[in-house]
Each structure stands twice: as C-alpha cells, then as structure tokens.
Chains A and B, each alone.
Chain A
Amino acid sequence: MLIQALNIPIVLLYLLAAVTYTAYFITQKQNLKNVPTLVLLASICFHCVYIIFLAKALGRFPIFTVFEVLTSATFLFAFVYLILEFFIKDKSMGVLIIPILLIFQFIAITGIDTIPKALPPQLEQLSRVTFGIHIIFMMLAYSGFAVAFIASAMHLLLAREIHQKRLGFFFSRIPSLELLNRLNASAASLGFIFATAGMLCGFLMATQYWGNPMPPDPKFISFFLTWVLYLFHLLARRKLGWHGERAAWLSVIGFLWVTVNLFVVSLFLTKLHLYV
C-alpha cells in the first residue's frame, strides 16, 4: 500500500525538481540557488524509501523486470548527478538531466508490480549475485554515458554561440568549455569501464548457462557496438587529439545509439534480455 501511495509524490517531486532547475537556469536568481538541489534531495530520499519498501515486498532487489530496472536506474542516476553537482558546483546540467529522471520514473510506476511473480525461467537459472552485479554495472555505465551526453550537448550549444560570436543566453548560463570537455572525458571513461565490467559479468553468466560467451542475440551485438564506439572515443582523445567539439559529437552519437539499443533492441528484438 505504502508503495502505491509513494508513486505519485515521487513523480511530483521530480516534476517540481525539473521545474525549479529550469526556473533557476533561466532566471539565474541567486536567492533561488539552493532550492532546486533541496527539492532533488527530497526526491531522492523518498525514492530511497520507496526502493527499500519495494525490495521488502518483492523479497529481492528490484532489478528483475524492465520497470524495476528503470526505477532503480533513475534512483542511481539521480544520486550520481547529485554527487556530480556537489563537485562541479554548477546546476546547469540538471536542466537536461532531471526531465530524463522524471520520464523514467513515470514509465516505471506504470508497470511496477508489487506482488512478487515468478521470474522468467532463464532468470531462475542464473546466479542472483552475478546477475545483480551485471545489472548494477550496466546501470552505472548508462549513467556515465548519459552524463557524457548531457555535458556534450551543452558543450556543442556553447561552442556554437562562441563560434557565431553572438554571446547570449547560453554564454551566461553554461559552465566553461574546458569543464564540459573534462566532464565528457571522465564520464565517458567511467561509463566505458563499468560497461566493460558489466559485459564481463554477462560473458561469465552466458558461459555458465549456455556454454557460449556470446549467444546469437541482437542485444549482445548492439551493446558490443556501443562498447567499440566508446573505446574509439577514448582512443581518439589520446591518439588523434580529438577534444572539445569532436569528442562531444562522439558522446552524442554514442548516447543516441545507447538509446536505440535500450528501447528498440531490448523491447522488440532480443529474446534473452527480457529486462533492459
């Protein structure tokens, strides 16, 4: 019951956070400075309580269906963002990130079942620990890619203004190109490391149960492509001197591919990855 009762307030809190972040971004009123962060913090606290109760009701971590993964990923991503905001001391990224959280959580609450159901037969065979680690690493990887994407999108917007020599709206609101570039680099690298680890877990499980590290599944292939793309991103930075805008474009393309991978491949093509 409590879980259903929390559904709406959490979505509303994320909505309020999205509104306050946007309002602060546009008006830049210094007396509103801490409001968005406080609202987000409240959302995260409620969300934490929600996940604890959900896990209790289900008797397991809520990462076994698409919707469970969505709400956990939202929680993790919100948490990662909050830490990031604390370190870079800039709120402009929230404008793009919080609406994503809002949408994820909204989709999640439409499909979450609080009564534990029997899991699909493939999942029953898997080691829960390895599976959990696999999922968490993948969620962290996606968070990293998302942060890299948002930093890159802002980088491109700001760079465009600077190139066109019409310094206006974004110039006064977005942090420096240097910071965005560094953020893009480190988020993409971290995402890549988690993706690699998550993939290794996946191989491990696949070998254990199918005796083949790469069963012929579209999800394996598409995610491998994602991995190659981010590998290229890291190498291009080091070897080709691709910083700033070029690296930003790589992150944007990478994340668009990730989105396709998440929704199209996972929902319609794959047989093995019924969850995300």
Chain B
Amino acid sequence: MQIYAIGLHKNNITNDTWEQAPANPQAIKSCCRTLSSFNISKESLLVISCHSIEIFALLEGDINKQKEILKKFLAKMLNLEESEQNVYFHNLEGPEAVRHFLNLALGVEPIAYESENDFLECASKGITLANEFGNADFVLNRLYQTAILLAAKVEQSGISFDHASIYQQIEDLMKKIFGSLESIAILLVGTNALSAPLLNSLQSKPLKDVFYIMSTSEYGTEFIALSEKQIVPPHELNDKLARVQVVLRMNQDSSEYFTSDNLHNIMAQRKNQPLLIANLDTTIIPEALLNRIYNLFVYDLNDFQNFETVSQSANKRTKDLIENELKDFFSWFYSKEHYRFGDIIGKSRLIEGVLELIARISQTNITVLIQGESGTGKELVAKAIHENSPRSKKPFVTVNCGALPETLLESELFGYERGAFTGAHDSKRGLLEEADGGTLMLDEIGDTSPAFQVKLLRVLQEGEMRRVGSTRSQHIDVRIIAATNKQLDGLVAKGNFRKDLYYRLKVVNIDLPALRDRREDILLLARHFIAHYSDKMKKRVTGLDNSASDIIMQYNWPGNVRELENAIEHAVALSIGHTILPEDLPTHLHRKEEHEVIPENGRVITLKEMEKQYITKALQHYRWDYDLVARALEIGRTTLWRKMKEYEIEKPSEH
C-alpha cells in the first residue's frame, strides 16, 4: 500500500482549460463517480486549489497500471484532448507525495502563493467532496488533520511566509533608507497576487500616502478602500515618480517609464532625493543600468527571498516541522496498526470539527472542558490534546473524580504531609505534583463536591496548591482537562456545581457527538474494531455482511463507541466465517424498529405524518439527491416534488 499523488499545476496548461475544469461541479461529480467506479484505490481524495488540481490516493497492487488510470481520469476531468498529451502531470509517491500535501497545506510551495489558509480550505472542501463522491477514509483524513496541526504549530511558532515576510522586509528597508514611515509615500504600479495582502498591510501603517497606478479594468474589490485621490491614471506616472519615495512594481505595466533614461530625468527632477524601487514580480526585467543611478535603490523579488535574516531560518524551521510530521505519519502508516487506542476515528463533519478543534488548541495551555455521553471517547480526546501539545514528553495523568470519596480524592490529588491524618505515616506527592509540567485529566468532574471545587479553582487561578496538612503553597504548572458526561450547566443552575469553576473550566468546550449523531462513522469504526479484534483473536474476519451492517446502522447505540466496540468484540468472537452475520451480533441489537412505528405509550401517528417522516429520512439518507430518493422509493421525481411541497419538506440551507 502506498500513498500516491498526481496533479497538475496551473502553469502547465492553458488558461481556458484551467478555467472550465474546476468551475464545473457537474463535471467533478461525474468524474468522482468514475473514480470510485474504477475501484482501483482504497481511498482517494480530490483536492482542487486555486493553483493546482491534485488527486491523493492510496494504492495497492499494480501501482503503475493504476497511475495510468488516475492520469486518464485527471485528463478526463479537465477535458484535456488527446492532442494535449504533452501536458505535464507530476507523479509523486510515498513520502514525496505526503510532503507535497503538507507543503501545499502550509503554502510553502510557490503555487499556493496567495494565502496559507487557501489550501486548507481547498483541502477541507476536497475532503467533503470526496466523502460525498469518492472515499477518503482515515488515512487521508489523518493526513488532513496532520496538515491542520502543522498549520497551528507554524502559527504558534511565529514562522511567517510569503507576503507577510516580504512586506516586513520592504518595511525594514524603507525604515533604513528613509527613517520613519510617516515621511514615506508609496506608489504601487499594476496588480498581482501580492497586491491585496500587501495593500492590507500598507493600510494599517502610518504611511504618508499610498498611490495606485492601474487601468480601470483591474479595479477589484480589494481597492475599494482606496480613495479617488489615491488612484492615479497611468499617464500621470512620471509626475508621481518625482514625488514618492517608494515604488512597488507589481507587474511589468508601464515598463517604458522604468528605463534608465527616464529615471535619470526623474532623479534630476527630484533633486536626487533617494528613491526605492521594488520589483515584486518575476516577470519584471529591470534594466541593469538602473543600479548605477545615484541615490536610486532597486530591489527584485529574488533579493527579498534571499534575505538571510528572515527567510532562511524560517524555511529551515518549517522544513524541520514538516520532516518531523512526515516521519510521524509514516511510522504510523507503516506500523499497519491503523487502529490505535490513542486515535480518534471518524470522517463525519461532527468528529472532523472536534479534531480540528483539538489540533488548534493543543499548542496552547488553555483549560479544556470535554462533554459527551459515556463511551464517546473523552479520554481519547484528552490524550490526543496532550500528545499533540508541547507537553507531550511530560506525564499525562488521569483521575476519575467520581470513583473516589471526597477526602480520598483530595489526598490523591494534592498529596499529604506526614501526620496529616491517621495513617499518614509518610508524606506523599499528589497526582497534581506528578503531572507537573504535563497534563491532568479530571474525569467525571460533575461528581465532585463544592468544597473540592473551591480547592480546584485555586489551582486553576493561581497555579498553586497545598498538600493536605501542609501550610506551604507550592507552584505547579499543569494543564487541566476536565471531562464529564453530565450537563454541567444544568448542575450549575441547580447549584450543585460552582459557577466560577464552570466558567474557568469552560474556556474551550469540546462537545463529543453521540455515535447515533454520526452514523456515517459507524461502519468505519466497526471495520477498525473488526480488524483489531480479528488480529487479536487470530481470526480472519474481514467485514460485515449487508444485513449485519444494516443492523448496526439502525441501532441507537446508547453506550456509544464503547458499546460498539464491545458488540464487535462479541461478534468477532462468535463468528465462524470471513464475515460477521446478524446472528453473531449481541441479541439486544436486533430488537429495534418495531418500537419506532408505534411507541409503547405514545399515540399512533397518521399515515400522512408517517409518510412525511419517511420521506424526510430518505432525503437525508441520500443527501437530498432527488434522483436517488425517487428511485429508492419507487415513485416518480414529480411525485416526490409534489409530496415534498405538500408536507412542506424543505432542504436545509448548507451547513
């Protein structure tokens, strides 16, 4: 099994082809169907960003043959003709492909130039799309999460890329030449991808003036903030050149003004007051003679990127970060242990949101409150936060507050001094001290007493604790993650939980969805548990048969993932063949549907009401694809429409 990437960059194909290809959702949809019907890759993810189109796929078996198929698929998606076969597709395999993915995600590659977040957005869109039409499973999902985490790390470490660092360099240069920014008037000539962010940066600075030279056709939304006076028609360029201090050339427009003859005159007009010209586009070819003009400083884009001061160290640090993530990813990928206890599995939007949140907050020291029904994996989340945080080398300690009586909990947590109470023959370090520098997870926080809550609040607020029986406070550095399966706000309202502690804990709140709210993950999870337990029990179970998967999809799962895991363990133990049959599953899973139609003590609903509910469910099941729903219900499309109108069923607006 190998990760493989095939892609096309914008500069490899003609503009026309580029524009029609990704803009046509119908084409993408049909292409994605084709891709899944090829049935060649285990997982595939189509990513369309502004500068490239990429397919990341997990391949098995004859890789070369599959590469060809993927290539054809991409060509078909872009409507490339046979004659255009000289288009260059790049093929990357294994670590190279993953590095490419991460590079794109961070905007390190020149093709993802506009903004670091662009790609992530595209990748997230791509994943949604792939979920709908293709099949991006946990390997690629994990890659996506790695990318998010990496982006968060980069943001934390203060490494900045492209326009921000280039602008910073220009600003340093301006300050060194002209002193303060207040005395500087800047003239921008033309537009390119850098213009909008650059203009943003400029507008927040105390510059004397910013002028913009452009033809009206270029007038884009980013220039709305400019006043009339700031937009200068191209024929007044010479006039402005004699007055401003800095010229930023964004493209090769008006290059006739930037000849050495003209600039000689300009410099004479401005009495040799220094002028800085920065060429911020690779297409600009500055005249070599310009460098010899007295008091004229000419800089090119290359000069900025080569600044050893900023970019090199940042590049090196990013590279290191990427290499580390790459190593981690592959050690996980090749370990063949795709199900690990420390991992959270899921591809539903809800769980994706949770994972994204974990990735974003793990770099901070913020207190987190995890709420969710029992069995939803609260400890996994806490562990994931810890392992992705800078504290990962330090201990991760879990305390179940519900399992211990109050006094015992207190001495466990805070430790005690010798003679603090009967039986305390020696002083003992508490779990808080054990977790110093690391993370402490307080499970079942809702079960604690108010007295204990006060002590906990002190730890959270002051970072200080006192052993039982001690008079001395000591400083501790612990990140607290609290978890509960109760509704804390309800407890607060009843007065059983301190309000101040509640708000202190709830700095970030992670709500773990119940399994029944993310049914699309059930089969995914089941598959992993099957693989795990069949391996453990030395069996050869590979999957579920259709009716068994129907049963687990229908079941309500009050015990959530833990119940599912137990059910699968049970089924794997009982199964005798390669697939799990309905009778292998625990019996209580079979008792279902009957209750739903006529509730035990509820009223019998009307046929109409029932039809409405059923149609709504069918629509949800097929993601509002009316063709599929009509076919499944064996009614005409128009009938479906009529009934939807009659029952006032409306498609919910996009999430």
Contacts and interface: CB of A to CB of B under 8 A. Distances in A.
B428 to A, nearest CB: 42
A244 B178 CA distance: 11
A165 B303 contact: yes
Given A243-B273, A244-B274, A176 B175 contact: yes
B531 to A, nearest CB: 56
Given A176-B176, A177-B274, A241-B271, A162 B307 contact: no
A166 B308 CA distance: 8
A158 B176 CA distance: 9
Given A163-B297, A176-B176, A243 B274 contact: yes
A162 B173 CA distance: 8
A217 interface: no
Contact of A246 (B268, B294, B303): B294
Nearest to B176: A176
Interface residues of A, number: 19
Nearest to B271: A241
Contacts of A242: 272
Which 4 pairs across A and B sit closest by C-beta, in order of nearness?
A178-B179, A241-B271, A241-B272, A176-B179
B301 to A, nearest CB: 12
Contacts of B307: 167
B266 to A, nearest CB: 13
B295 interface: yes
Contacts of B111: none
A237 to B, nearest CB: 10
B334 to A, nearest CB: 44
Interface in B258-292: 268, 271-274, 291
Contact of B309 (A172, A179, A244, A245): A172
Interface of A: 158, 162-163, 165-168, 171-172, 176-179, 241-246
B380 interface: no
Given A177-B177, A242-B272, 4 more contacts: A171-B309, A176-B177, A178-B179, A243-B295
Interface string B290-315: 01001101010001001111000000
A163 B176 CA distance: 12
Given A243-B272, A243-B295, A167 B309 contact: yes
Contacts of B297: 162-163
A114 B183 CA distance: 54
Contacts of A245: 294-295
Contacts of A246: 294
A126 B299 CA distance: 60
Nearest to B307: A167
Given A179-B179, A244-B295, A246-B294, A168 B272 contact: no
A161 B201 CA distance: 26
A137 B230 CA distance: 51
Contacts of B176: 158, 162, 171, 176-177
Nearest to B179: A178
A165 B308 contact: no
Given A162-B297, A244-B274, A168 B309 contact: yes
Nearest to A161: B176
Given A241-B271, A244-B274, A178 B177 contact: yes
Contacts of B173: 162, 167
Interface string B376-410: 00000000000000000000000000000000000
22 contacts: A162-B177, A162-B297, A165-B299, A165-B303, A165-B306, A167-B172, A167-B173, A167-B307, A168-B308, A171-B172, A171-B176, A172-B309, A176-B176, A176-B177, A176-B178, A176-B179, A178-B183, A241-B272, A241-B273, A243-B272, A243-B274, A243-B295
Contacts of A178: 177-179, 183
Contacts of B274: 177, 243-244
A162 B297 CA distance: 8
Nearest to B272: A241
A171 B303 CA distance: 15
Interface in B227-279: 268, 271-274
A172 B179 CA distance: 13
A273 to B, nearest CB: 39
A179 B173 CA distance: 14
B645 to A, nearest CB: 69
A166 B169 CA distance: 12
Which of A165, A171, A246 is packed against the most chain B CB atoms within 10 Å? Answer: A165
Nearest to A182: B179
Interface in B405-423: none
Contacts of B175: 176
